[in-house]
Structure 1
């Protein structure tokens, strides 16, 4: 997968994205990023999606609108117009092929999708199964939640009910980073209550129920479990070797910038393991990393040292192997925005993130740095006037 193009679909007029090893999508709310990524998932994993819906006894028939409603959410099929075009690496994705039975040789997923609404996958500390959601819920959330449920039940393999920290999962430096920025010495464990196993946070001898966790801890837990599944020991539940691509929607939700840096370190490990990673974000931290990465990668003598310094990685850390494996990777950034006249969404490559670019969308990082630049200019102006 090198390129995906979506034309005349819902609010999207034309979005053409060339993927790097890490691709970052930015843009305001409701700018079509999630729709773009969901259609990417459908184009790549069509057979897996159809097989899953069949397995849960949905009657698909030959009704493409029904399939799109089940996939995107009830009533969303109308986003597909007569002139809609979807192309993956130049090959058109034909809507009429959707109702056909899934190819039994292609039912393994290739794209692991962590949706922005991932917090809804955990109901008071218990991962929900596919059929607990109604038909208004997008497929990517239902599928992710089912993956979490089965992975938590059969794939963790800890034997002592501990979810974090686990000795066999995550490298030491990443575990310590997550602990210091998110958990602060607390342990996430599985506790049996009323015949069900649910996650609680063990702090100073007190077991705190999931809904009483901090917002960041709750948002992070499904993401952590996804990292476990993709980077931990092999599992028959989540077959990490089958995946080639990983989508992470808004991985920064609820997190302090220090914690976001820890997440980026984990993303680097995904990249070092050969995954192509696609992120949608509203955080400047990812853009700062993208800008710094592309600036220093040209210095062949010092780029590893520079990345180590950015993440405060000691010289003897196992993280150094990951840094050495990713320093020559490609990082691309695209801005999704609405045209002022038409209100339709297009995508712009802003990978240079050059603050001196004539295009303000590039210079202001798709609007993410616009306010800080304005504040700096205003403060400078009035500071000079006061002097």
Structure 2
């Protein structure tokens, strides 16, 4: 894994009808900050945006591992569709389009204010996905280098990790039939995460026999989440479970193969173990970006809070996170972490968020995906708009009151 150039500002702009995202009359722009949260109901385009961002964050690595053609257009289409649905489907990404074409522009500025803009255009009629302008020239040069020297293929190290929503799938097969995790029918995001988990396993096995080498940051992660999750995952180097992922329950300490853990534990250990392993990498070898789908899946609200604290910890360690979520608990937790940063400074207070999990308001961006629109829900104070957060809970409260008084007013 490799470090990436530090970023001072990132944006992504969509113009056109891109699946559920209707930016036909005017483009929509999202500012991507160190912690970017995309929230909405199912099928509103959150994962679509995260996947497109993943491509822009790590296109050089993806090109070096998945190119088959000398042409930039066909290679970019192959990779983007592979990220979404795997390589064995005939389903085109252009089938999402509700306008003749969609333009997507990714812009980033480094710490010296140098701007780098990359643009792709998707066409509904012929299903093409074309890089445009300087971005196309850059990809063309890179592909020619790969064809001239095939040994370069696979040597480019990733700048980004994508943690997919299907984490239970990994739990079911990683010990018993791990080869299935590399099947080309799976999306690129899942196959790449399987590679990550292999590296993560090696690191955890090393720590299993060299506990003194486990960094404080990885131990901090344990302390943040193990009580709420009811245990922790390990990958032992020796013993009856050697080279297998195990779950160690907090109460019994009796090892279980990971597929015997609870649904929430099976869903969460890949994220937690990866977070710990990343903190064990030298700073220069860490990826910069982490994309995480639905970190709250199968979790009790208390465990959701613990996981969000862990993600905030990663942000404070220098990673840039893009999170998709359906959970109001996630957003309320983030507001508490921002408020703790503002009110408590560096003071440690029992019962309050740990110092290392508190988030500066300028680190956060959050967007609500709803009815074809994308709305910035961070207020001028840097917190997430609680009025918007409370609308769902408020509707339930109104319904509850109506039901309580139904017999009174219906007679």
TM-score > 0.5, shorter chain as reference: yes
Give me the whole-angstrom Cα distance separating, in 2, the residues matched to 1:202 and 1:12.
43
Change beyond 3 A, Cα 1:371–1:136: same
Give me the whole-angstrom Cα distance separating, in 1, the residues matched to 2:176 and 2:311.
23
Give me the whole-angstrom Cα distance separating, in 1, the residues matched to 2:176 and 2:163.
14
The reply to whether residue 66 of structure 1 matches residue 85 of structure 2 is no
For 2:269, the equivalent position in structure 1 comes to 221
Query: 2:15·2:102 contact (CA, 8 Å) conserved in 1?
Result: yes
Q: Pick from 366, 376, 388 the counterpart of residue 333 of structure 1.
A: 366
For 2:21, the equivalent position in structure 1 comes to 12
Query: 1:113·1:144 contact (CA, 8 Å) conserved in 2?
Result: yes
For 1:79, the equivalent position in structure 2 comes to 94
Higher alpha-carbon deviation: 170-179 or 193-202: 193-202
Change beyond 3 A, Cα 1:119–1:352: same
Q: How does 1:309-320 map to 2 (within 5 A)?
A: 312=352, 319-320=354-355
Give me the whole-angstrom Cα distance separating, in 2, the residues matched to 1:348 and 1:10.
17
Unaligned runs of 5+ in 1: 314-318, 339-344
Query: 1:124·1:210 contact (CA, 8 Å) conserved in 2?
Result: no
Give me the whole-angstrom Cα distance separating, in 1, the residues matched to 2:188 and 2:209.
32
CA apart distance, 1:142: 1.1
Q: Pick from 55, 61, 66 the counterpart of residue 48 of structure 1.
A: 61
SS in 2 for 1:144: helix
For 2:243, the equivalent position in structure 1 comes to 197
SS in 2 for 1:2: strand
Q: TM-score if structure 1 supplies the norm length?
A: 0.75
For 1:375, the equivalent position in structure 2 comes to 396
Higher alpha-carbon deviation: 264-273 or 167-176: 167-176
Q: How does 1:1-387 map to 2 (within 5 A)?
A: 1-8=9-16, 9-14=18-23, 15-54=28-67, 59-62=68-71, 63-64=74-75, 65-73=77-85, 74-79=89-94, 83-89=101-107, 91-94=117-120, 95-96=130-131, 97=136, 101-102=142-143, 107-126=156-175, 132-153=181-202, 156-160=205-209, 168=215, 170=217, 174-184=221-231, 188-190=234-236, 197-202=243-248, 204=252, 206-234=254-282, 239-240=285-286, 243-293=287-337, 299=342, 302-304=343-345, 312=352, 319-320=354-355, 323=358, 326-338=359-371, 345-352=372-379, 363-365=387-389, 369-380=390-401
Unaligned runs of 5+ in 2: 1-8, 109-116, 121-129, 146-151
Residues 106-156 of structure 1, C-alpha deviations (whole Å, 9 max, x = no match): 933222221112332344443976874433322111111111113313565
SS in 1 for 2:276: helix
Query: 2:208·2:235 contact (CA, 8 Å) conserved in 1?
Result: no
Give me the whole-angstrom Cα distance separating, in 2, the residues matched to 1:124 and 1:130.
8
What is the RMSD computed on CA atoms of the aligned residues?
A: 3.9
Change beyond 3 A, Cα 1:127–1:46: farther
Change beyond 3 A, Cα 1:101–1:78: same
Residues 306-354 of structure 1, C-alpha deviations (whole Å, 9 max, x = no match): 9x559635xxxxx53554xx4354322101123xxxxxx3311112399
